[in-house]
Amino acid sequence: MHTPLRSSLLPLLSALVLLLFAMPAQARVPKGDLYLGYSRLGENAFYPNTEGLNGLEGAAHLKIGRFLGVEGDVSHYGYGASDSAPHTTTYLFGPRVTFSALHFHVFAHALLGGESSSSADISEDAFAYALGGGVEIPLLPFFAWRINGDYIDAPSLSTQNPTKARASTGLVFRF
């Protein structure tokens, strides 16, 4: 089933692939990181009468310049929630700026994409975005621990008294 939101992601993904192939040959060995961790979505973030939802978040970041990179982020929320609570998935892409000092990485990102929810009462897709950042604390040569926070929203989904925030923490593999 094709929705306008899902079909609008194809040009974005195509542009990211073209950007990677347009890089000079010596820069084609990608540098970046992979992240997997726990994430918590704020109360009523997308739908009314929804407590904060527990979830998993995964992200991939590829550097395309000294400070600039592209990031893809997928999160799923609703683990441990009742069947009446919406199980929400977000898929977001966009630029990320990272500064490094003493092996610590501090970053900020602006991500655009979509939100898809389903429950007994809801089955809906919507445009979504997240603005935020975080810090990665080194653990071992290729591993770090990430703590980050985002303002996250799907403007077409209105709720009363929303907490449009997500907080995440987890393991990063740097390459």
Specify the pLDDT at position 120: 58
Q: Is residue 147 part of a domain?
A: yes
Specify the pLDDT at position 140: 92
- Tokens matching residue 72: 């893809």
CATH number, residue 62: 2.40.160.20
Name the 3-class secondary structure at 11: helix
How far is residue 58's CA from residue 2's CA, in Å, rounded to a whole number? 24
How far is residue 56's CA from residue 134's CA, in Å, rounded to a whole number? 17
Q: Is residue 158 part of a domain?
A: yes
Domain span at residue 56 reads 4-8+33-174
Q: pLDDT-derived band of residue 70, with 50, 70 and 90 as boundaries? A: very high
**Has residue 15 got a pLDDT over 90?**
no
Closest residue by Cα to residue 5 from 87, 84, 89:
89
Q: Is residue 139 part of a domain?
A: yes
End-to-end alpha carbon distance in the chain: 36
- Tokens matching residue 65: 């310049």
Longest Cα pair distance anywhere in the chain, in angstroms?
Answer: 52
C-alpha distances (whole Å) from 148 to each of 75, 86, 134, 160, 169 are 14, 23, 4, 25, 6
Q: Is residue 13 part of a domain?
A: no
Q: Is residue 68 part of a domain?
A: yes
Q: What is the pLDDT of residues 96-153, one digit of tens each?
A: 999 998 889 999 999 999 999 887 566 788 999 999 999 999 999 899 999 999 999 9
Q: Is residue 146 part of a domain?
A: yes
Q: Is residue 14 part of a domain?
A: no
Specify the pLDDT at position 20: 58
Exposure letters 82-112 (e unless 16+ CB within 10 A, then b): eeebbbbbbbbbbebebeeeeeebebebbbe
| pTM for this entry | 0.80
**Has residue 167 got a pLDDT over 70?**
yes
The total of structural domains in the chain comes to: 1
Q: Is residue 22 part of a domain?
A: no
Specify the pLDDT at position 123: 72
